[in-house]
Structures are given as structure tokens and as C-alpha cells.
Amino acid sequence: MWDFMYKRLLIFALILTSFSSYSKTHLIPTATVYVDGAGMGIQPGDTILLEAGLKTYLITFINHNGKVEVSNNNFSYGIVTYNCTYFRLTGSGDPDFFYGITITASNGSSNGLSLDEFSSDFEIDHIEVYNTGFAGIMSKTDPRCDSLSSRGIFTQYNSIFHDNYVHKTGGEGFYIGHSYYAGYKKVCGNDTLTLYPHDLINVKVYNNIIDSTGYDGIQMGCVIEGCEVYNNVITNAGITDNALGLYYGMSGIVMGGGTSGSCYNNLIYDGYGTGISIFGLGDMWIFNNVILDAGRNSRLVPGPPDNHHPYGIFCDDRTTIAGSSFNLINNTIINPRDIAIRFWSLQSANNRMYNNLILNPGVKNWDFNRSMIDVTTPSMVLADTLSAGNYFDSTEYQADSNIYFLNIAERNFHLMPGAPNIDQGIVLDSILNMSFDFDYKTRPMGRSTDAGAFEFSSLPELVMISPADTALCEGLRYQLTLDSIFPEDVYTYQWFLNDSVIPGRDGAVLFIDTLTVDHEGIYKLSFSNGFTEAYSNEAVLNVIQKPNVWAGKDTTICINYTGLSLLAEAENFTHFFWSTNGDGIFESDTTLQSFYFPGEEDKINGTVVLSAAAFAETSCDSAKSELTLTLDACTGIENLNQQIRVYPNPTGDLLTIDSGNDPVLSLKLTDLKGSIILEKSLNHHLETINIREFDSGIYILLLLFRNKTEVRKVIKQ
């Protein structure tokens, strides 16, 4: 039958405060993809039936475009589900509202959200429930005379409750499963039968905030397997603080009859009754919980008529399986009104009481040791327990001044440096799932496990990063590594460059895939345990830029000319070299400025490639640039650059050179044999030379610019 989703889903919800006097039933077929409530005439109080579907296609009920408010002051529920499976009810539909669905149901016996009548396999999250007559969230199917909901016939599976806010309830905050696992009497016709409530398997209650509940904050019952209650904050549980509260319970958390599982990493404070009550089957793990001021708010008296004894943790034998065990480990219990841990189970065996931190129980003057952990039952028989690593202190409790915690007033129970309970516990390597603390940080961190829920993550005296000093080429990969190995769930890290935070670099290793000059500087790593901070050594990185070089523009000269004046540009280099693919020679092959003398093969080939190479001082890559020199017969030389004017040409005496915006660095005038007739340094745009004394004929004018050489033919009359 589990291959199908459910036979029908029945939801009653009264939106806001209006309701219809005549409720109707509406059927939504499986083929429907959109429902128009107004078009179907759906009114508050109506019943909506959804046809069966496959369980692999879950139904999600979610708020949309704002918060949904459900209020019902007339019925026994705000929202109720009957025989519903494979669905999710979530208030996560609008990012502006963490709790996108709110439910109130103030009728005297009403539950806010009631998951009834064989409902199973669901998830409830991001819901706010408050001002309820009874429970905030109820989830169980009561035994019936037809036995269909009895143990062995019906089982509730996979019930998940997380990220909800439940407060100001008349009864329990969460009421999950039945209270009477051992059975209870019910009149069925003419007979009185003992009925046994159904089992629950795989129930998780986590990340919820519960405040000001009339009775227990969270009550679990009949969860025979897979029960987990964790990461909840529970305050002011049991505010009824009267005889009814004593009868129904005023605990922060109840791991009730028929339950087996784990209760961990919960914060419980300012309750009117016991912090955690345990009435389950056994094989239960109660660890890393913080319980503050259990029962201190109550006005009930320890003697008659109330006989109110609020403990930090209490356990007895209501449904214990013989030979099973209860394990109370690494809990922090501060200032309970009565005994910190009272253990009255004789059916169980090998019960562990390890590494608990207990401060100032209210009955410390009665018997110091028993006020901390009391394993003597009312029959004066000692329970079978193993005790080690617990730390007791009866010093008067001070919220604003203590040697244990950073700030109790702000509910910061992280340990102060030097707290007496550090390293006072025993190492629990042999016990599964005991390797983390309240913050889910690895334990132990020191010589041994700390007593209590929090492990002190002391900062090491010296942390080194390496390599300390490095010179690397631009473009390479750079890595800095923390020399010591620390769990990243214990410390937080932040890398700095030149005392500025490097965004997004918060791991124990720093990678830079491609270095640039912007990465040059002093690196260091900060590491924090959440309340103190320290720094590593400094690592200096020098980024060596790759050389850049430019040989110059391609140039044409006359074949009879002596050669080409060269002026390369280069940077980020330590040495330089000219080379050629021809047979010419350089005036200097190791300087930027040089002169190339073409060889005979160069002249035969008509072109030659001149290469300029620049090298850095390390293994960084060299840079290379080439220019092509063309050797022309110069039977006629055209003005390759029209911005350069040489006039008048031909001329008998004066010759003017106008280079426009580009200054001429120098000029040479040669005859056709390559002999230099005139050579002059200029570095300006306009120059006039006198060639009156030169013989008539054809001359070659060589103009040297910063990045080029220009050649012109001059005719002397």
C-alpha cells in the first residue's frame, strides 16, 4: 500500500478569523495542475480532497508572495491533516519571512497544527505556531476500539519537524507520539480493553525555537527507532506551574515511554520543571545539552502539597527494556533547583555518566555528591552506572561573573581560557558519535576531553605558514600552507595581504593560480577559535615581472648603405641580446642601441630578420621581438611616410627636413657607396642642412627616430 501516495488528503484551515456556516467538500483530480480557489468557490472551513498519487511525487504546501496567517478560535485545531502521507508543509516560500506560515488556535483544547488519523511521512518546517489552547504541534493517532491505529497494525514513519517557532501554548510545544506506551484502559462497547498506541519510526525534531509552553517543551513518545531531538532552543517550559503542570509535565524535553534514540546539542533554560526527562526503552544517548536554571522559575514547593523536584536530568524505569542502557555524556547543567542528575533506573545496565559539568545544584548542602549525580533509587538500591570525567562545583552561581563561561547573560557558554573543567573529562574514542561538541567542533582538542557541552579550542602558541620568503615569476602559481594540521571545524581562518583582508580566502591553504605584480607583498594568516584571535608568521612574496622587448618597426634601407641603426625597447630584464638569421654583424649585440652591418648573403637575399631578446635574473621566461630589414637597390626611393618632408629635392645648397610630430633623433647622409658624408644629432622636428659644398649626384639620407628608421633619396644639383 506504500506504493501509493495516499487515498486522500484532508485539510481543514480557517483563514484569518472568518468562517462559513455550511462547509463543502471539493475534489481535486490528479490531472489538475492549477487550482483557483475563488473559481471553485472554496470557503474557509471547506474540505479539499486530493486524489491518490505516487509517493515519489510529493505534495508541497507552501506560502507564496508573503506570509500566510491561519487563525481559528472556534474549532479544535488551526490546521489538521487526516490520513495524509508524503507531503511537506513549509513556510519557506518568501525570503522576507523566515516563518512564512503562522497558525493560532486559541480555543481551550485546540492544537495549532494537528497531524492526525494515520498521517505519516511528512515534513513540517518554517511554521510559527502560537496562542494555542493546547499543543503547538500534535502528531499521533490515538488508539481506537477497532484497533486499526494500535501497535503492530499502524506505524507512523518519517516525521520531520525543523526550523519552526512554537510559543505561548496552553499545553506542550511539540506533542509527538502517545504518552502511554505501556497501554491504557478504554471502554469499547460493553468491554474495557487495554489499547496500545502505535509505534513511530524515524522522527527528527531539530532547529526549532520553543518558548513559554504550558507543559513540556518537546514531548516524544513511542518512537521506538530513529528518534533524534537536537539543536533546539527551549525556554520557559511549563509556565502553567500548577498541579496540572505537575501531572502533565513541565520538562524542557521528554524522551517519553517507548522511545529510543538521541537527544543532543539542545539549549534549555528558565524552565519551571526538569530540564530533560527520560522514560524511554533504553539505548538512549543524552549528550552535549546545556541546561540552565531548571525549575528555578517555579513557585511550587518541594514538600506537600506540591512535592515539586525539578532536576537537571531525570531518568526512571517506566518502559525500560531490561539490560539496555542510558548514556548521559558531556552535558552542562547549571544551577538546577534540585539534583543535577537523578537516575532511578534499575532495569537498565552499564549506564554511562561521563564528562558532565555540573555547577551549583540547589540541594548541594543536603549531600554534595548526590546533589550532583544521584543514582540511589527510592528503594535505596544503587543503579548500575559507570561514572568518570564529571566535574562538580558547588560555588554559588553568578551569571555575570564566573570562571567557566564567556558570557552566561548572553547565553554564551563557550569556555573561558583557563576554565577549570578543561581537559577534565575522559577521551571517548570507543563510543561512536561522541566526537563533537555543542558547536559540532571536534573533540578532544587538548590533552583530554573537556567536561561539559563545549570543547575549548585553545589557540596554539605558534603557527607557521610556508614558504616564508619567495620570489616567483609573474604568471606562475603560488601556494601558502599552514604547516600544522588543525581541524577546520575548530578554527576559522582569514588570509591577509599587506594587512588587508583577502576576500574569499578563509581556508588553511592559500592558492593563487596566476601571479601578477598586484600579488606582491607580505602575507599572513589569522586564526580564531571564536573568541580570541592570533596570527601566523609573515611570508614575503616578490613577483618578478616577465621581460618585455620591442626590436623596432620593419625597415627598408638601400643595399649599398653601410647598415641600420637599432634602438630596441625593453623592461624587467637583466641582460639583452641581438641576433640575426643572416650573415651580418652587430656593432654591439648586448645593448639596446646598436648598429647592424648587413653581410653579402643578406644583400643577396634582400631581407634579414633581426631579433631582440631580453632575459630576467631568475628562471622567468625570456621575451623576444623581431624586425625585418629589407635591402633595396634604391634605383628610386619613395617617401614611405608622407608626414616626413625633405625639400627642396633636388637642391643646390640648403635641404630642409620636416618630420611633423615625431622628432628626428639623428641623421646621416651617405653616398651610394655607403660612405658617411654628414652625421648629426638632432632630437627635434625641423632641421635645415647646407650641402652646397658636396659634389653633385645622388645621396642617401637616413633619419633615425625613436622606434623606426626612414630612408630618403636626395639629389644634389
DSSP codes, 163-194: S-EEEEESS-SEEES-S-TT-EEEEETTEEEE
Amino acid code (one letter) for 40? M
- Alpha-carbon gap, residue 15 to 105, rounded angstroms: 11
CA distances (Å), origin 3, targets 53, 55, 59, 201, 515: 9, 6, 15, 18, 58
Paired strand residues for 593: 567
Return phi, psi of residue 413, to 5°.
-100, 15
pLDDT tier at 493, thresholds 50, 70, 90: confident
Nearest CA among 434, 429, 358 for reference residue 394? 358
Return phi, psi of residue 244, to 5°.
-65, -40
C-alpha cell at 6: 495516499
The better pLDDT of the pair 259, 652 is held by 259
3-class DSSP state of 301: coil
- Alpha-carbon gap, residue 357 to 372, rounded angstroms: 9
pLDDT of residue 213: 97
Mean pLDDT of 422-448: 87
C-alpha cell at 66: 508573503
- Alpha-carbon gap, residue 612 to 589, rounded angstroms: 9
pLDDT of residue 602: 92
Paired strand residues for 686: 658
pLDDT tier at 660, thresholds 50, 70, 90: confident
Q: What is the pTM of this model?
A: 0.68
pLDDT tier at 334, thresholds 50, 70, 90: very high
pLDDT of residue 12: 39
Mean pLDDT of 662-681: 86
C-alpha cell at 425: 573529562
3-class DSSP state of 527: strand
| pLDDT at residue 408 tops 90 | no
| pLDDT at residue 445 tops 80 | yes
- Alpha-carbon gap, residue 236 to 172, rounded angstroms: 12
Q: CB count, 10 Å around CB of 545?
A: 17
pLDDT of residue 56: 64
| pLDDT at residue 246 tops 90 | no
Most confident region among 72-76, 127-131, 566-570 by mean pLDDT: 127-131
The better pLDDT of the pair 35, 689 is held by 689
270-274, 435-439, 710-714: which has the minimum mean pLDDT?
710-714
3-class DSSP state of 30: coil
pLDDT tier at 392, thresholds 50, 70, 90: very high
Residues 6+ apart with CB under 8 A from 593: 565, 566, 567, 568
pLDDT tier at 637, thresholds 50, 70, 90: very low
pLDDT of residue 158: 96
C-alpha cell at 424: 577534565
The better pLDDT of the pair 452, 6 is held by 452
pLDDT of residue 604: 86
User: Residues 104, 132: contact at Cβ < 8 Å?
Assistant: yes
pLDDT tier at 51, thresholds 50, 70, 90: low
| pLDDT at residue 10 tops 50 | no
- Alpha-carbon gap, residue 216 to 120, rounded angstroms: 23
* Model confidence pLDDT, tens digit, residues 352-367: 999 999 999 999 889 8
142-146, 296-300, 395-399: which has the minimum mean pLDDT?
395-399
96-110, 567-581, 629-643, 692-706: which has the minimum mean pLDDT?
629-643
pLDDT of residue 227: 98
9-13, 517-521, 686-690: which has the minimum mean pLDDT?
9-13
pLDDT tier at 488, thresholds 50, 70, 90: low
pLDDT of residue 587: 86
Domains and CATH numbers, the chain: 135-414 (2.160.20.10), 465-544 (2.60.40.10), 548-632 (2.60.40.10), 645-716 (2.60.40.3080)
| pLDDT at residue 207 tops 80 | yes
- Alpha-carbon gap, residue 121 to 58, rounded angstroms: 10
pLDDT of residue 73: 79
Mean pLDDT of 274-294: 97
pLDDT tier at 15, thresholds 50, 70, 90: very low
pLDDT tier at 41, thresholds 50, 70, 90: confident
| pLDDT at residue 40 tops 80 | no
pLDDT of residue 219: 98
C-alpha cell at 646: 625633405
CA distances (Å), origin 37, targets 18, 28, 47, 83, 89: 16, 11, 12, 22, 18
C-alpha cell at 281: 526503552
Residue in this structure with the C-alpha cell 544521584, named with its chain if needed: 374
User: Residues 101, 128: contact at Cβ < 8 Å?
Assistant: yes
Q: CB count, 10 Å around CB of 39?
A: 8
- Alpha-carbon gap, residue 699 to 687, rounded angstroms: 17
Residues 6+ apart with CB under 8 A from 281: 224, 258, 259, 260, 319, 320, 321, 324
In the Cβ-directed half-sphere of 20, how many Cα atoms lie within 13 Å? 13
Residues 6+ apart with CB under 8 A from 398: none
pLDDT of residue 487: 58
The better pLDDT of the pair 315, 75 is held by 315
DSSP string, 385-434: EEEES-EEE-SPP-SSS-SSEEEGGGTEEEEPTT-TTTT-S---TTSTT-
pLDDT of residue 357: 98
pLDDT tier at 332, thresholds 50, 70, 90: very high
Residue in this structure with the C-alpha cell 630596441, named with its chain if needed: 568
- Alpha-carbon gap, residue 548 to 109, rounded angstroms: 84
pLDDT of residue 632: 85
Most confident region among 47-51, 477-481, 555-559, 672-676 by mean pLDDT: 477-481
CA distances (Å), origin 650, targets 645, 669, 697, 699: 13, 15, 10, 11
| pLDDT at residue 2 tops 60 | no
Helix, strand, coil content of the chain in percent (nearest 5): 5, 45, 55
Average pLDDT across the chain, whole number: 88
In the Cβ-directed half-sphere of 11, how many Cα atoms lie within 13 Å? 22
Percent of the chain with pLDDT over 70: 90
CA distances (Å), origin 473, targets 162, 252, 469, 567, 594: 53, 63, 14, 27, 29
| pLDDT at residue 504 tops 50 | yes
Mean pLDDT of 268-280: 97
User: Would you give the end-to-end CA distance of the chain in angstroms?
Assistant: 116
Q: 395: burial class by Cβ within 10 Å (0-12, 13-18, 19+)?
A: exposed
Amino acid code (one letter) for 32? T
| pLDDT at residue 17 tops 90 | no
- Alpha-carbon gap, residue 218 to 413, rounded angstroms: 22
Mean pLDDT of 485-496: 74
Q: Sign of the CA dihedral 315, 316, 318, 320?
A: positive
| pLDDT at residue 4 tops 60 | no
User: Residues 599, 629: contact at Cβ < 8 Å?
Assistant: no
| pLDDT at residue 201 tops 50 | yes
DSSP string, 30-81: TT-----HHHHT--TT-EEEE---BTTS-EEEE--SS-EEEE-SSSSEEEEE
- 459-478 b/e with 16+ CB inside 10 Å = b? beeebebeeeeeebebebeb
Mean pLDDT of 147-171: 96
